[in-house]
Amino acid sequence: MVELLIFLALLGWGVVSLFEFLSTLEAFPTLVAAAVSVPVLALLSYGRLLRIYQLEFLKTARKFLPPERFYWPTRAARLQREMIIFLLITLAAWPAAIIFPAALSLQIGAVTGWVCGVVAILSLALATSRLWLFLEGSQRFDRLTPWAIGSVRRFMFWISDNYDFLGEEPEVSKKRTKESIY
């Protein structure tokens, strides 16, 4: 019990130290705005993507229909491409938003900071929503995709022989029974 308390205290100290460091940056307001707005924007984008890709069944517990299963590979590939594009934009926009912090002036550096901050927040939200939809859809159609999740599931199955990790039922050997004669 004491070890757990020490671990939680060290974890809390690390989080507080990180927040203190981030608060010294000039781009701290942009980071706070991102922490608040990215989850909201990602949730809105996720709902819109469900309608666009016609994957509303992911919100329910029903099984997918054959057309949905046939369309998923092309939709998954498109989601991956869009996700990579938005991640590249995010990786370019966040350093620029930190280098040129947004300020309440019309100087070129401040305006650049505002634009880079908005682009960074929007691209991160869009990449997050696409990643969320891709992971949820992949898990619904095949429990062993994508590779990272599938390898963890295979490892957990390997160490426990529990078929729940693979998402399938074990094959039960059928006993031969005599047919009854009516």
**pLDDT of 27-71, one tens digit each?**
888 999 999 999 999 999 999 998 888 887 777 776 666 676 778
Structural domain count, the chain: 1
Q: Which domain holds residue 70?
A: 13-138
Is there a contact between 83 and 131 (Cβ–Cβ < 8 Å)? yes
The answer as to whether 56 is a domain residue is yes
The answer as to whether 105 is a domain residue is yes
The answer as to whether 161 is a domain residue is no
The answer as to whether 182 is a domain residue is no
The answer as to whether 114 is a domain residue is yes
Contacts made by residues 45-50, CB under 8 angstroms, sequence distance 24+: 45/125, 45/126, 45/129, 45/130, 46/129, 46/132, 46/133, 49/129, 49/130, 49/133, 50/133
* Weakly modelled stretches of the chain, pLDDT under 50: 170
Longest dimension (CA), the chain: 93
- Total-model pTM: 0.74
The answer as to whether 23 is a domain residue is yes
Q: Give the residue carrying structure tokens 């505002």.
A: 114
Q: Report the distance separating Cα 18 and Cα 92, nearest Å.
A: 23
pLDDT of the residue at 83:
95
